[in-house]
Amino acid sequence: MEEDIISPVINDYDESSIIHLEDMEHIRLRPGMYIGKLGDGSSHDDGIYVLIKEVIDNAIDEFTSGYGKRINVKIDFGERRVSIRDFGRGIPLGSIVDAVSKLNTGAKYDSKVFQKSVGLNGVGTKAVNALSSYFKVQAVRDGKCRYAEFAEGRLTNDSGIIDCAEENGTLVEFVPDNKLFGNYHFVGEYVEERIWNYAYLNKGLTLYYNDRRYYSKNGLLDLLEHNMDAEGLYPVVHIKEGDFECAFTHVNGQSADYYYSFVNGQHTTEGGTHQSAFREGFARVVREFFKKDYEPAVFRQGLVCALCVRIQEPVFEAQTKTKLGSTHLAPNNADGTNDSPVLKTYVLDILKRNLDNYLHMNAATADAMLQKINQNEKERKEIAGIKKVARESSKKASLNNRKLRDCHIHYNSNNARRLETTIFITEGDSASGSITKSRDVATQAVFSLRGKPKNTYSISKVDVYKNEELNLLHNALDIDDGMENLRYNNVVIATDADVDGMHIRLLLLTFFLRFYPELIRTGHVYILQTPLFRVRNKQKTHYCYTDDERIAAINTTPNAEITRFKGLGEISPDEFKNFIGKDMRLDPVLLHKDFDTKAVLSFYMGENTLERRDFIMNNLRVEDDETIVVA
């Protein structure tokens, strides 16, 4: 009986089944193992930015080893060519080809050469080479140089060692392969943010990005002051001792603590053991100083912090190095013991010495911090009474109203596809129905709004819990206690391309900026772009996102039928698969450094109705109706 139920698949399994892949072939076949997801550049964690990071990391390692104080980065956005030049020692000329094309080859395995490096496994530049349609590496050492060129990881040209008069250092140029990354594009803001972070974390280093100079005098203090979109409640506290540095202050209007955390210059966007050590240590020191027996989260609510540690041979939880797993400042000894400082104890001891002393010596800061903590505790008690009821009602409402169609994989899991996890926030049942029927149930969830959400500009966090729609939404995202539990990597606002749809976008962005700004700061929020027109005949179908695309499609499609999509609900599920699959178009929601969140929300979402009406009337653009001529 059992044999009838389980039918074996008949496949030959012999020596011919064993396939050997060369290093470059393996990287191209399994790119996710080396750079995470591929993507098209719309997301800050897409693979093309990891390629840039891997090359700059090598240049940074030269700088931290004491060689070269300048790094030049250039991106040709038209040709999509990246050029990175450092002025360190240069790759040894005899090993230049192997260093960028053979796995398990490189100087990063010698901890005496690179004491506190980011790239420790010798994979980074090899991955860049393998995943590029064009790759060039050139090294200059003491009047001699050598360059090699590759295509898809295969060597196409080797100059050999020749004379040259350039400064010592290494040049890498590459063009990511569109066979792998599709019709990708670079978002300049993402690259600039990375360049700034390198400057903040490496005092004395000057970077040039497309000929603009990036330099930081005060390290993490500069990072925090340049990135906060709310005014600090007290001057930024800056602590630096040994291999640890942090800068922090409290702000109003933030539901949890937020971190810019780094390890050896690597931006650990998912935190890790160093961030956990700081969070625990900060709450303990402040609790003891003020002698307040509050929950740890009360001391941290509204805290904005930048922190960095430098350790030997850090252990990360993935090749993309977004979360630290190390528990000590150095790796285990050969016998399995470890006599280096425990990371948690190391951070706590530094905070005990420096933060306690600072609060004793700066009464105004201590008073402002205590006032914020007491305010947090008052708010916690106010919310506590309704929170339990609200969460219970959200569970019931989710089941009864089916507002959330969840996916199987979540961002806070260890699944290999976690970076693909997406929640679409839609308006109405028709749009959510189309997306639900065409989505990938493994990684894509759908949340359906009922009409327009509440304007949250002037309401309190308590009001959010009382509002069923907003309560359901933030419970679906699971961000009430901070970003650690975020369930979806991509939060996509999917509304119609009309006035009502634009208004709903604005209301949702207001909600996130008011209560969960870290969701936008960390690059998780996007706007879904769907086609406005469909131009087709019996031979071909064009989906057009702009009027220019529509006109171009009409000119190349005889006897075309033109359809104007007025809403997402008008697009059939079969067609929707084209717009939320691998060719999905997403516009990232970015916060620029000079963006004044408070002023913008006050003007567009506040009670200044007459002023806003005058602004709209003075800037209204009226266009003539176009007549569509079909050939």
Instruction: List domains and CATH numbers for the chain.
Output: 23-214 (3.30.565.10), 220-332+341-379 (3.30.230.10), 385-618 (3.40.50.670)
Q: pLDDT value at position 470?
A: 87
Q: Who wins on pLDDT, 610 or 235?
A: 235
The values of phi and psi at residue 381, to 5°, are -65, -35
Please report which confidence band the pLDDT of residue 389 belongs to, taking 50, 70 and 90 as the band edges: low
Provide the percentage of residues in the chain whose pLDDT is more than 70: 88
Average pLDDT of 427-452? Answer: 88
Please report which confidence band the pLDDT of residue 622 belongs to, taking 50, 70 and 90 as the band edges: low
pLDDT at 156 over 90: yes
pLDDT at 202 over 50: yes
Contact, 346 vs 282, CB < 8 A? no
Q: What is the overall mean pLDDT for the chain?
A: 85
**What residues form DSSP beta bridges with 239?**
246
Contact, 213 vs 206, CB < 8 A? yes
Extended strands (E) in 264-376: 266-267, 303-309
**Beta-sheet strand order (sheet of 541-544):** 541-544, 533-536, 561-564
The letter for the amino acid at 290 is: F
Contact, 366 vs 359, CB < 8 A? yes
**Beta-sheet strand order (sheet of 303-309):** 237-241, 244-250, 303-309, 258-263, 266-267
**Residue that is written with structure tokens 């930024």 in the block:** 236
The letter for the amino acid at 117 is: S
Q: Who wins on pLDDT, 608 or 348?
A: 348
Length of the chain in residues, anyone?
631
Among 24-38, 363-377, 581-595, which range has the highest average pLDDT? 363-377
- The number of beta carbons lying within 10 Å of the beta carbon of residue 259 is 23
CA separation for the pair 109, 331 (Å, rounded) = 13
pLDDT digits (tens, 9 = 90+) for 80-99: 999 999 999 999 999 999 99
pLDDT at 475 over 60: yes
The letter for the amino acid at 367 is: D
Helical H segments across 17-168, by residue range: 23-29, 32-35, 47-64, 96-101, 124-130
Q: In angstroms, what is the C-alpha Rg of the chain?
A: 27
Tell me the C-alpha to C-alpha distance, in Å, between residue 32 and each of 137, 171, 524.
23, 26, 20
- The H or E element that residue 315 is part of is none
Q: Which of 327-331, 473-477, 600-604 has the lowest mean pLDDT?
A: 600-604
Residues 6+ apart with CB under 8 A from 275: 259, 261, 268, 307, 324
From first CA to last CA, the distance across the chain in angstroms is 65
Per the structure block, which two tokens stand in for 367? Answer: 């008073």
Per the structure block, which two tokens stand in for 394? Answer: 């959200």
452: three-class secondary structure by DSSP: coil
- The H or E element that residue 404 is part of is strand 404-405
Per the structure block, which two tokens stand in for 276? Answer: 């956990």
Nearest to 503 by CA among 453, 429, 468: 453
Provide the percentage of residues in the chain whose pLDDT is more than 90: 52
Q: Who wins on pLDDT, 319 or 365?
A: 365
Q: Which of 199-203, 352-356, 449-453 has the lowest mean pLDDT?
A: 449-453
pLDDT digits (tens, 9 = 90+) for 510-535: 999 988 888 998 889 999 998 899 99
177: three-class secondary structure by DSSP: coil
DSSP state of 341: P
pLDDT at 629 over 50: no
Cα angle 417, 423, 428; round to 5: 150
pLDDT at 433 over 60: yes
Tell me the C-alpha to C-alpha distance, in Å, between residue 347 and each of 277, 307, 324.
6, 11, 15
pLDDT at 18 over 50: no
Please report which confidence band the pLDDT of residue 349 belongs to, taking 50, 70 and 90 as the band edges: very high
CA separation for the pair 427, 449 (Å, rounded) = 5
Average pLDDT of 550-554? Answer: 93
The values of phi and psi at residue 254, to 5°, are -125, 130
Please report which confidence band the pLDDT of residue 400 belongs to, taking 50, 70 and 90 as the band edges: very low
Q: Which of 516-525, 545-554, 564-573, 617-626 has the lowest mean pLDDT?
A: 617-626
Average pLDDT of 139-149? Answer: 95
pLDDT at 215 over 60: yes
CA separation for the pair 626, 435 (Å, rounded) = 31
Helix, strand, coil content of the chain in percent (nearest 5):
40, 20, 40
Per the structure block, which two tokens stand in for 313? Answer: 């041979």
CA separation for the pair 516, 387 (Å, rounded) = 17
447: three-class secondary structure by DSSP: strand
pLDDT at 111 over 70: no
Q: pLDDT value at position 577?
A: 86
pLDDT at 395 over 60: no
CA separation for the pair 75, 187 (Å, rounded) = 11
Extended strands (E) in 131-225: 132-141, 144-151, 154-158, 162-163, 169-176, 206-209, 212-214
Q: pLDDT value at position 22?
A: 67
